[in-house]
Amino acid sequence: MSLRPDPLSALSIPDGTVVEEHDLVADGDVLVGAQSTVEFGIRGRNVVAGERVRFGGHIEAEGDCRLDTWCTVADNVLVGGDAYLGERIEIDGQLVVGGDLDIGDDVQIAEGFEASGWIVIRNPMPTVVFLFMYLTHLLRMGEDDAAEELLEGMFDEEEGPPPLTIPTGATVSDDAWRVSAPADIGRDCRLHGNVRTESISLGEDSEIFGSLRARDDITIAPGAIVHGDVTTRGGTVTVAEDARVWGDISCEHLDLARDGVVDGTIRARGEVNMGLSTDPGGSPQ
């Protein structure tokens, strides 16, 4: 596992993630940073959200679900394992928990709740805050190995796919994915909405029904399809072999590989390299 100072420092969408009928569906865990808005319903293995996250749909977690204080959910919360709810959470639907329920003060559940295991009313520790403060402390102390072990314990990639991570303060909806961070979108993904980030890497055979806009570089891997414009303020747009852009491209520099298709107008202020061969990462050869 590559070590980052903050696992929520980028929008990271693992391979095979799709949007199905207003649900964001991931094979692995879903991690949402504080003060974010997710208009989709969420389906994943374990679902963890920081403070003041607003979900516009339901949550379905095969494993555990942890929501920190002041989170709101517009529909049901269905949890196969244990649930941990902080103070002043609002759930506009029903809460169903297959395991134990650890619940804080002043939690409002419109349609009631049921749990198969123990029910404990207290204020659960905000795990997201604790883990990342501890991780930051380890890095400052130079304990890189210990920090990496902590990350591997949180997200064991050998036991399943890497987590879907949404950074702090992000807005995710059918209209747009807006984050002040880089975006790494895996292969075989199918997403709806315009993507607005610092930089974008779109994986092989993924399909975006919306435009891409970034401050820095945008890389579109082989077989990927973008149904919209591709725009960068000061970076390079790379369109790999067999990639398709059904829209205009506006950029500083453009690398367009053999068999890459752009069905629109190309505006580049700097160099335009056409007919190059590119590797899967988008680097010209």
SS3 122: coil
- 8-state DSSP, 46: S
Amino acid at the residue 213: R
pLDDT of residue 159: 60
Across the chain, mean pLDDT equals: 86
How high is the mean pLDDT in each 10-residue block of the chain (285 residues)? 56 93 91 93 94 96 93 97 93 96 92 91 59 58 62 55 90 94 96 96 97 97 98 95 97 94 94 70 47
CA distance 78 to 76: 6
β partners of residue 177 = 172, 195
Q: Check residue 275 and give its pLDDT.
A: 74
Burial of residue 246 (number of CB atoms within 10 Å: 0-12, 13-18, 19+): middle
Structure tokens at 92: 């506009």
Alpha-carbon span 163 to 8, nearest angstrom: 10
Residue in the block written with tokens 């100072």: 5
**Which pLDDT score is estimated for 9?**
78
DSSP assignment of 192-245, as one string? Answer: ESEEEES-EEEPTT-EEES-EEESS-EEE-TT-EESS-EEESSSEEEE-TT-EE
Per DSSP, the residues of 164-185 read: EEE-TT-EESSSEEE-SS-EEE
* 75-80: long-range contacts, CB 8 A cutoff, minimum separation 24: 75/41, 76/111
- Please tell me the predicted confidence (pLDDT) of residue 120: 85
Strand order in the sheet with 54-55: 108-109, 90-91, 72-73, 54-55, 37-38, 171-172, 176-178, 194-197, 212-214, 230-232, 249-251, 266-268
**What pLDDT is attached to residue 219?**
98
pLDDT at 167: 92
- pLDDT score of 20: 86
pTM: 0.84
pLDDT at site 282: 45
